[in-house]
Structures are given as structure tokens and as C-alpha cells.
Amino acid sequence: MADSRLFYAVTLLSCIGVVMSYSLATYITSLYNYPPLHFFLRQLIATIIGITLMWLLSRIDVDVHFKRIGVAIFLLSIILMVGMHFLPQSFVSSAGGAKRWIRLPLISLAPSELFKIGFVYFLAWSFSRKFVSDARLSIKDEIKIFIPYLMLFIVAVVLIAVLQNDLGQVVLLALTLGVMLLFAGGSLRLLGIIFLSTLSAALIAIVTSPHRILRVKSWWASAQDSVLALLPYGWAENLRISGLPEPYQIYHAANAMSSGGFLGAGLGDGFIKLGFLSDVHTDIILAGIAEELGFIGLFAIICLYGYILLRIFRIANRVQNKMYYLFCVGVALLIGFSLIINAFGISGITPVKGIAVPFLSYGGSSLIANCLAIGLVLGISKQIQS
């Protein structure tokens, strides 16, 4: 029997996202003259589709269908990511001049969201054949084995970071790849080499892009006082940047979290959504929740995430098949790292990356993709020996 507690926890979190999409989209609904229930209904439809798919996948025989579904998601997402750049402008939506969404009648599909699930499936399938072994490999042999994964990751960098101008998703995939490698049996030496290589590539991506340089400088301008206070005065002054305002999103997100206090302003009574940050229902949703539901509401949601991750890791720990084990670990890492990257960004700890909060942020593609992943995990949970 599938893990019903995981199913109900994800369903509850998704329903909270629907409610918050209605509450936090007040200003942008009025600004663009949308019907009052525009974002609510679209997110509700996506949630119904996602929960239905999650329930259907929880009932499949994973020994028969898991590989077929995983391969289909992986290949379809790559085809869509490549193909959407050849579609007419009327069929795609853009952000910062880069095509990221394919327009459908009810939702806009972001192929990169599906690719993350397919990427985790591919790593689980391949790592279970290459790295899960009792034999100790030399670092040279590990590097040889890892080269095909590096090539796949480079393809992901080109498709997402270059063509879609979305470095945040690549950072998420890199973190997931590295930690999954450890769970699969890769050595810390190999992980160190991967980390240094990824860091070098990220630095190149930043220094060759003026808007990324400005984003990093703006972040440092807001975070420098806390960091430089720990350094000697001379060093601190050399590293200090002046003349740059605090990043707009971080400034208003911090104000929202501060004004929310312990109990919050009340559902629907927040001010951050009234033109200060018009898209609060998307990537900045945690700040909106903190303002309207307060610390206690945000803490309850974080606890719900913790419970979901605990259930997934419990399934991974108890399943015997190595591929299923690694897939569950990968799904938990995607959810956990997405939450951490988003929370660190809006709190000013790291630069804002534009990563959606799983199940909460407005957006059908992210919600449905995550529900697909959880559905497969639920199917795997039936393999656990009671």
C-alpha cells in the first residue's frame, strides 16, 4: 500500500499554495484587469491535475512502468526545451528575453521543470549501475565513469543557463547531482573535483554577464555589514561596496517578514502584495506567508516540508532496489534544495535565484512536475517490506 501520509501532506501543502495564490495576487489581478479569481482558478486546476496524477502514479506497478515513465519524462523534457526555441513567439512566453514557457490553454508549461524530474530519474538509473558497488575505485576510474554525466550536465547548462538565462535551476541541478553521487557511493575526492569545476564554471557565467555581476554586487551591498564586522578594519574597508541600494526584492521581503511578527497580519491583510512586490504569489511567496500568517504560520509550513522530506527519506531507506532508492533521494534533494535556495534568497543570505517553492509558488508546471515525482515515490513506497 502506498504511503498515504506522504500523499495527504503533499495535498495539504498544495492546497495552502492555492489559498495563498488567491490572497497574494490581489494587486497584479487588479493591475492587469484579470477576473478576481484568475490566479486562484488556474492554480486550483493545476493542483487538481497534479493531485490526480500523483494518485494515479501511486497505483502503478513500478517494476513494470517506472522505467517507461522516467524515460518518457526525460526525453520529452529535452525535446520540449530544444523545440520551444523554434516555436513562433505567440506560442511561448519569455523572461528577460529568453524563452522559458510554452503557452497552453490553461497553463504555461516550463519544460525545465519536467527536465529536473527526468534528470533525477536518469541519475538514479545510471548511478545504480555504475557507482553502487562494494569495489573501491581509483579517482581516475571515478572520473572516467563520471565524464558522461558531465556531458549531460553541460547540455543542461546550455539548455537552461544559456538559452533560458536561468542560472538558478543549474545551481539546483548541480547540488542534486553532487549529493546523489555521494549517496550512490562516489568518493569525497570526486565530489571535491566536481565542486571546484562547478564553482569555476559559475564564476565564468557570472563575470561574463553584466546583469549577474550587478545582482551579486547588490546582494553583497545588503549582506556586507554582517560579514565585514567579523574581519579586521583594513580588510573590511577594502571589501566594502558603497553607492548601491539594497536589492528591491530583499528589502521589501525583509519588511514583510518583520511586519508579520509572530501571529501575522491575517490572511488577506498583508501589504507587501499591494504594489511593493507584485509577484509575491510566485518566487517570493514565503515572504507573503510570513507577513500574513506570521512566524507561527511559516514555521508550521516548514515543519510540513520537513515531514514530507522525512517520509521520502524513510521510503528510500527501506526500499531494496538501488534505483528506486536513489530516485527517492533525488526527489527529496530537489524539494529540499529548492526550499533552501528560495528561503536564503529572500532573506538576503544568498543572491535571489528565482527558484519556485515546491507546491506553494504559483505555477502549474512546477506543481505538476513535483506531483509527478511524488507520485512515483508513492508507487515505490509499495515496495517496502512491512
pLDDT digits over 65-110, tens only? 999 999 999 999 999 888 887 877 777 776 655 677 887 776 778 8
Beta bridge partners of 99: 94
Q: Of 370, 360, 231, 249, which is closest to residue 298 (Cα–Cα)?
A: 360
Task: Say if CB 384 and CB 318 are below 8 A apart.
Answer: yes
Q: Of the given ranges (13-17, 200-204, 262-266, 324-328), which has the lowest mean pLDDT?
A: 200-204
pTM of the model: 0.87
pLDDT level of residue 336 (50, 70, 90 thresholds): very high
pLDDT tens digit sequence for 45-70: 999 999 999 999 999 999 999 999 99
Q: What's residue 325's pLDDT?
A: 94
Compare 164 and 124 and report the one with higher pLDDT: 124
370 three-class SS: helix
210 pLDDT exceeds 80? Answer: no
386 pLDDT exceeds 80? Answer: no
Name residue 13's amino acid: L
Q: In what order do the strands lie in the sheet with 98-103?
A: 92-95, 98-103, 108-109
pLDDT cut 70: percent of the chain above it:
87
* Strand 108-109 to 92-95 pairing: unpaired
Q: What's residue 230's pLDDT?
A: 61
pLDDT tens digit sequence for 174-200: 889 889 988 888 777 878 887 787 778
Q: What's residue 29's pLDDT?
A: 84
**DSSP structure string for 14-33:** HHHHHHHHHHHTHHHHHHTT
221 pLDDT exceeds 70? Answer: no
Please give the Cα distance from 297 to 304 (Å, whole number): 11
- Largest Cα–Cα distance of the chain, in whole Å? 65
- For the range 259-262, what are the long-range contacts, defined as Cβ-Cβ under 8 Å and sequence gap of 24 or more? 259/291, 260/290, 260/291, 260/292, 260/293, 260/294, 260/295, 260/298, 261/294, 261/295, 262/294, 262/295, 262/296
CA torsion through residues 368, 369, 374, 378, sign:
positive
pLDDT level of residue 169 (50, 70, 90 thresholds): confident
**What radius of gyration do the chain's Cα atoms show?**
21
Task: Say if CB 72 and CB 8 are below 8 A apart.
Answer: no
Task: Say if CB 32 and CB 79 are below 8 A apart.
Answer: no
pLDDT tens digit sequence for 343-381: 888 877 777 777 889 999 998 889 999 999 999 999 999
Torsion of CA 53, 48, 117, 99, to 10 degrees: 130
pLDDT tens digit sequence for 222-262: 666 666 666 676 666 666 666 555 566 777 777 777 788 88
